Amino acid sequence: MWYTAITMDSGGSARDAGRRPRLLVTGASGTLGGWVAALAQPGWDVTATYHSGGPAPGDEGVAWRQLDIGDEVQVVRLMTELRPDAVIHTAALSQGDRTDLERVNVGGTRHVARAASSRGARLVHISTDLVFDGRKGSYVEPDPPAPITEYGRSKALAEEEVRNAAGEAVIVRTSLIYSWKPKLDRHSRWLLERASAGERIDLFTDERRSPIWVESLAQAAIELVGLEYTGVLHVAGAQVLSRHEHGLRLLRFHGLDQSPIVAGLSADSGLLRPLDCTLDCCRALALLETPLPGVDDVLSANMGQPRPGP
């Protein structure tokens, strides 16, 4: 692995002989970041950051630090103190107005990418399929971003910040992340809460994505730290599903009535949403040892295991 050979820093001086490599995980109070921090512990000294959500319970092997990535001084101070060998940058806002999205997703990524590059730390940056407009589908890595939402726009600009930092970086574009352990992802929690209350759930049949199980994505991000690959990589699940199909599967898996789900068309909603943001992951499948199973395979493999309620 890449980190086993670390003996010199970017200035040519020897690093601590025999020490475990240091990993910084931003946004680790979120679903993906929490999984990354937990899975990386056996091989890394992990420092995980949170903004307002607080440390995740039960991660005794992780050093938790509060960090506002939108504050460059805080980012530089923490990077200087920790001297990480690698950074997995999961922190982001998925909702908010343009000002908030630009401060966190664009400015925050700029601060993290520049600080990582200046210290010779490898960066794995998590991006999204929503950098595309959804007209084409089966997007490959060289396809140019063309976002049509404020969130997608902010993440496309964040990708540019990573490129401009000129460090050793991977931009991981991924899709809908789903999880139920140790906690539900935000979309699944919303879905289960409404279904449990018998409230109507409108899900689109014409909006297609490549949902990915959080553990697969976390493991792929950690694996990428140890590889020499740089640039964009699409990492998503093997199965293409509409939002409607995905929702039905999740309710069935959690043992809930599927009748609250009502099929609809995004085209009839009046909302400006990308319809087909599916990702071609052939490059990742050839590069990674981490499997990227589809939703049906993941749910089948986990049937019968304890799952939290909404």
Per annotation, catalytic residue among 50, 139, 151, 178? 151
Q: Cite the DSSP H helix spans in 95-233.
A: 98-101, 109-118, 150-165, 186-196, 214-225
Concerning whether 178 is annotated as a catalytic residue, the answer is no
Between helix 243-253 and helix 186-196 the angle, nearest 10°, is: 70
- Buried-exposed string 112-123: b where 16+ CB fall within 10 A, e elsewhere: bbbbbbebbbbb
Closest CA to 40 of 218, 260, 261: 218
Closest CA to 105 of 79, 126, 75, 74: 126
User: CA 5 to CA 99: how far, in whole Å?
Assistant: 42
Closest CA to 36 of 20, 59, 19: 59
* CA distances, 257 to each of 191, 196, 205, 300 (Å): 11, 8, 19, 18
Peptide bond into 182 cis (omega under 30): yes
User: CA 130 to CA 234: how far, in whole Å?
Assistant: 12
| Non-local CB neighbours of 194 within 8 Å, separated by 6+ positions | 200, 201, 260
**DSSP 8-state assignment for residue 73:** H
**Both tokens assigned to 10:** 């970017």
The residues annotated with a catalytic role in the active site are 151
